[in-house]
Amino acid sequence: MIEFIKGTLLITGASFMLLAAIGLLRLPDLLTRMHATTKAAALGVVLIMLASAMHFAEVGVVARSFAIIVFILITAPIAAHVIGRAGYFVGSRLWSGTVKDELRPNYDPLTHELKSGLETHENAKRHPRATDPD
Amino acid sequence: MDTVILISQIIMGLALVLTFVRVVRGPSLPDRVVALELFSTTVVGLVGVYAIQSGVASFLDAAIVIALMGFLAAIGFARFLERGGPRDD
């Protein structure tokens, strides 16, 4: 039974890694490629490390396997965020089918100034209330 | 069990080959950084499978170190991209 679970975990984890590689190869631009690799590869490592923890079944090895799992789950989103941010600043091209880029109209790449999108003249006016201190 | 380990190693080797195609072809530097990070993650998985195959649990320490190196390399590349410097994709 343990062997069967181990084998299933190994094959599934390896398949998720192959899926991440296929997504990296096939998808059209940087952000969609990161969307494929980050999640699928992290899930693949988690499954393989679970298999190794079940294989050895000692306290020290299980602790190390779970350390790898926690480390991958913490670092993969951070690395993806940092690379995506750098890629956007460098000006990597988005896919031609992109429907929404909310940063484009509100962000000035020269001054790094970010607007909230609510800067109208009506919002800039002051509306004093009766309870305000003079 | 040996067959399952062999099949998973073949699958992950294929994943490494596909990732390497993206490293070579990648149109810009951020694409290559993403591909290299996937490379290190896949190698972590391969080392885990090899630890099961050989029965030596100490290989998991090597997997921890490889994961750490991949993360630091990604952070360093991103800093380099953002801070500028001479770039030749």
Chain A partners of B37 at a C-beta cutoff of 8 Å? 37, 79, 83
**B11-25 pLDDT per residue, tens:** 999 999 999 999 998
* DSSP secondary structure code for residue B26 in this structure: -
**B23-44 pLDDT per residue, tens:** 998 788 889 999 999 999 999 9
Most confidently predicted of A120-129, B21-30, B45-54, B77-86: B45-54
- Residue numbers of the domain that contains B69: 2-83
pLDDT on residue B89: 61
Domains of chain A (ranges, CATH numbers): 2-96 (1.10.287)
Within a domain: B58: yes
Total domains in chain B come to 1
As a whole-number percent, the residues of chain B with pLDDT over 70 amount to 93
pLDDT on residue B85: 62
Q: Is B23 exposed, middle or buried (0-12, 13-18, 19+ CB in 10 A)?
A: middle
pLDDT on residue A93: 80
Provide the shortest C-alpha distance from residue B46 to chain A (in Å): 9
For residues B42 and A49, the answer to whether their CB atoms sit within 8 Å is no
Chain A partners of B52 at a C-beta cutoff of 8 Å? 6, 10, 51-52, 55
pLDDT on residue A67: 92
Q: Is A53 on the interface with B (CB under 8 A)?
A: no
**A65-115 pLDDT per residue, tens:** 999 999 999 999 999 999 988 888 887 788 888 888 877 778 877 777 778
Phi (first) and psi of residue A117, to 5 degrees: 90, 5
3-state secondary structure A6-69: HHHHHHHHHHHHHHHHHHHHHCCCHHHHHHHHHHHHHHHHHHHHHHHHHHHCCHHHHHHHHHHH
Cα–Cα distance list, A7 to A3, A52, A97, A125, B43 (Å): 6, 10, 40, 66, 19
ipTM value:
0.89
Residue found by looking up tokens 């951070």 in the block: A78
CA–CA dist A62, B34 (Å, integer): 29
CB contact under 8 A, A30 and B19: no
Within a domain: B89: no
pLDDT beyond 90 at B50:
yes
Provide the shortest C-alpha distance from residue B12 to chain A (in Å): 6
Which of A1, A17, A34, A92 is the best mutation test for B, with the most CBs of B within 10 A? Answer: A17
As a whole-number percent, the residues of chain A with pLDDT over 90 amount to 52
Within a domain: B44: yes
